[in-house]
Amino acid sequence: MDQEPGWRPSIERPWRLILPTGYLPERREGSLGKLTSLRRLYLKLLLTLPEFGIAFAFIEPWKRDRSAVPWIVAVVAIGIVCIGSLAVRSHRPLPNAESPNKLAGAYRAELFIGIGLAEAPALFGMAIGLYAGQLKTVFVGMSFALVGFWIICPDKRDVARRQAEIDASGSQLSLIGTLRGSDALE
């Protein structure tokens, strides 16, 4: 069985997580494994949430005459739908586990679909916040996004659970080995 690299390689040189193009030198060098690259990208996208929150705090005056309640209810509804979708998707087995490239592609596709669903409440909250002038909707959306990112986190637990699903299906493929050495992730 291949060794799980853990999160340590993903958080080395943290300044590269904050800068918009900080990952490019490592990507060009190919010094990161595919699983580490996925985790690093996950962390970069997760860190955009507080960066947006800081940026939104400096935008125009936020107090308008409109009530925040209907807008917060709309953001909460979107958040519940997205979190529910993530919960259902996270327990579905990976499709196409007959070859290493298809397995790696399926894992990556599930992760990026999950990232899209996780970020949707935050983006919706930001759009509503700008429209309605209510900063509260931004932070309500970000709260749901953080829960979504927690659900889809590509940690050891998730990889082990996915590997158990692959083993139960009778496949001899190793998810960690596939993600560490697959060209499907390029």
In a domain, 2, yes or no: no
In a domain, 3, yes or no: no
> What would the pLDDT profile of 134-176 be if each residue is shown by its tens digit?
888 888 999 999 999 999 888 888 888 888 888 888 888 888 7
State how many domains the chain has. 1
**In 3D, which of 2, 4, 162 has the Cα closest to residue 89?**
162
| Whether this model's pTM surpasses 0.85 | no
Tokens 């060794």 -> residue: 3
In a domain, 44, yes or no: yes
CA angle 52, 148, 37 (to 5 degrees): 75
> What would the pLDDT profile of 69-95 be if each residue is shown by its tens digit?
889 999 999 999 999 999 998 888 877
Stronger pLDDT, 125 or 16, i.e. the higher one: 125
Domain extent at residue 32:
8-185
Residue 155 burial (CB < 10 Å; 0-12/13-18/19+)?
middle
> What would the pLDDT profile of 151-161 be if each residue is shown by its tens digit?
988 888 888 88
In a domain, 16, yes or no: yes
In a domain, 50, yes or no: yes
Cα gap 61→57, rounded to integer Å:
9
In a domain, 104, yes or no: yes
In a domain, 1, yes or no: no
Tokens of 89: 């998707």
Query: What is the predicted pLDDT for the residue at 77?
Result: 97
In a domain, 79, yes or no: yes
Stronger pLDDT, 116 or 64, i.e. the higher one: 116
